[in-house]
Structure 1
Amino acid sequence: MRRIINFPHTMWISQYTVRFAFNEVISQENFQAVQKFNWFLQKNLQHKLVETVASYHTVTAYIHQKIDIKCLQKQWLAMQMSTTNEEIPSRHLQIPICYDEEFALDMQRVMDYTRLTYEEVKVMHISKAYLVYLIGFLPGFPYLGDLHEQLFVPRLKKPRKSVSASSVGIGGAQTGIYPLDSPGGWNIIGKTPFTLFDVHEKNSFLFSLGDHVQFYEITKQEYSEIKSKGV
């Protein structure tokens, strides 16, 4: 039976900014609805659209011409009733991580809180494929979920003044990677040799909304070798 997703709640932020909100729940099912609606807006608004910004449960559309919400509602329903099933583009990325003690600044805190061993934390962290729910906080910072429940650890009570770029952290139900040197309160458990943000590249961000990410462990030597290649 075809699942019909209700049209999201509509709220005008300004004359040329409108926000569409689904249920305020962080889940893959809810995010799939967001992704589908984001793609729908890009396809149907076209020349009226400046850009869309999607997050956990909302899509904000920036427009330069007036749009007809009732017309969009009809198009949304018609698209879902159509027999044509168009796939929303999605990438599957393999990201190396070094969990060496030099990079895993908060591993002891994580072990104390979870009562897991160093090895168990690593194995659990790489055992799941993660979904990029949101890009934010810093340019290219990916909010990845869903973290294994046994790795749910509160963020630091006192954030660090500086976390080095490419550090991998966990906080609450999510894991993420710092794209730049910045303050931060996530529990740092490793580091990737990959560069997440490069303003000089055509595609500045390594990650995109909706990507599927699988981590794998590398040694410190492998980290240095990859880093020297400037990936």
Structure 2
Amino acid sequence: MKQIIEFPHTMWISQYTIRFAFDEVISQENFQLVQQFNRFLKKMLHTNLIESVASYHTVTAYVKHQVDIAFLQEQWLTMQRNAYVGEATSQPLQIPICYDEEFALDMHRVMNVTALPFEAIKKLHMDKVYSVYLIGFLPGFPYLGDLHSQLFVPRLTKPRSLVSAGSVGIGGLQTGIYPLDSPGGWNIIGKTPFTLFDIHRKAPFLFTLGGQVQFYEITKQAFLEIKEKECSN
């Protein structure tokens, strides 16, 4: 029997801003629930909704006028009872990554903390299909989870003053990619030749919230060829 998910805790932030909060846990299950609830809000509030912003465990809705919370609760429970099925998930976006030592700046640190050889670290990093939990910090920076538990490594105690765009890092239970040159404290294990943020593209951001991502390994030569092709476009 399908489990009935209780309606999230509701708090009015302002006269026209509502925050809906589930349990404060970062997990695939909670993330999928938040995405489902976000779709539900868009359907229920429709023209009254200006924008909804989903995070790890909350959805914040900006509305034009007051919302009947009791009606939303009733519709949410009805949807649960009817075993509502959300939107179908698409195939993961495949992201090339070069783990060459030139790009894997924190390779030895990660090996020391995890007690794993780098080949095993690469395999664990590529074996997972990640969800885009959040986009922030920098334009187009994706917070991807969940990282394999064997790869949980604390972030650097002293962040670097400069991390180059495309650098792929791990920190805690997440992995991410720097879209721009910037300071940063993630453990860098490789680099992608893809451009994550380009204001001149029709879709400036490579990633979308709620999307899925998987990495695959390329050689340094392939990295340079893809990068050259991207730069010439």
Bin of the TM-score, shorter chain as denominator length: over 0.9
Cα deviation for residue 84 of structure 1 reads 5.4
Q: Which residue of 2 aligns with 1:67?
A: 67
1:108-123 pair list within 5 angstroms: 108-123=108-123
Note if 1:27 corresponds to 2:27: yes
Q: Which residue of 2 aligns with 1:190?
A: 190
Quick check: 1:17–1:63 contact (8 Å CA) kept in 2? yes
Query: How does the TM-score come out when normalised to structure 1?
Result: 0.95
Distance 1:124 1:44 in 2: 40
Q: Map Cα deviations across residues 80-112 of structure 1 (whole Å, 9 max, x no partner).
A: 223653425544111100011111111111112
Cα deviation for residue 186 of structure 1 reads 0.1
Distance 2:227 2:4 in 1: 46
34-43 vs 125-134, which moves further: 125-134
Distance 2:225 2:131 in 1: 27
Cα deviation for residue 157 of structure 1 reads 0.4
SS at match of 1:41: helix
Rate the CA distance shift 1:86–1:158 in 2: closer, same or farther, 3 A: closer
SS at match of 2:158: coil
Instruction: State, as a whole percentage, how many aligned pairs show the same letter.
Output: 71
Q: Map Cα deviations across residues 115-137 of structure 1 (whole Å, 9 max, x no partner).
A: 21121211111121112111121
Q: Which residue of 1 aligns with 2:4?
A: 4
Q: Which residue of 2 aligns with 1:165?
A: 165
Q: Map Cα deviations across residues 178-199 of structure 1 (whole Å, 9 max, x no partner).
A: 1111111000010001111112
Q: Which residue of 2 aligns with 1:131?
A: 131
Distance 1:199 1:91 in 2: 25
Quick check: 2:36–2:86 contact (8 Å CA) kept in 1? no
Quick check: 1:132–1:213 contact (8 Å CA) kept in 2? yes
Alignment RMSD, CA only?
Answer: 1.5
Can you give the 5+ residue segments of structure 1 that lack an aligned partner in the other structure? none
Quick check: 2:155–2:185 contact (8 Å CA) kept in 1? yes
1:86-105 pair list within 5 angstroms: 86-105=86-105
Rate the CA distance shift 1:149–1:89 in 2: closer, same or farther, 3 A: closer
State how many pairs are aligned. 231
Q: Which residue of 2 aligns with 1:229?
A: 229
Distance 2:201 2:49 in 1: 25
SS at match of 2:72: helix
Q: Map Cα deviations across residues 9-47 of structure 1 (whole Å, 9 max, x no partner).
A: 001111111110001111111111101000011111111
Distance 2:122 2:46 in 1: 44
99-108 vs 62-71, which moves further: 62-71
SS at match of 2:121: helix
Quick check: 2:92–2:129 contact (8 Å CA) kept in 1? no
Distance 2:127 2:54 in 1: 27
Cα deviation for residue 206 of structure 1 reads 1.0
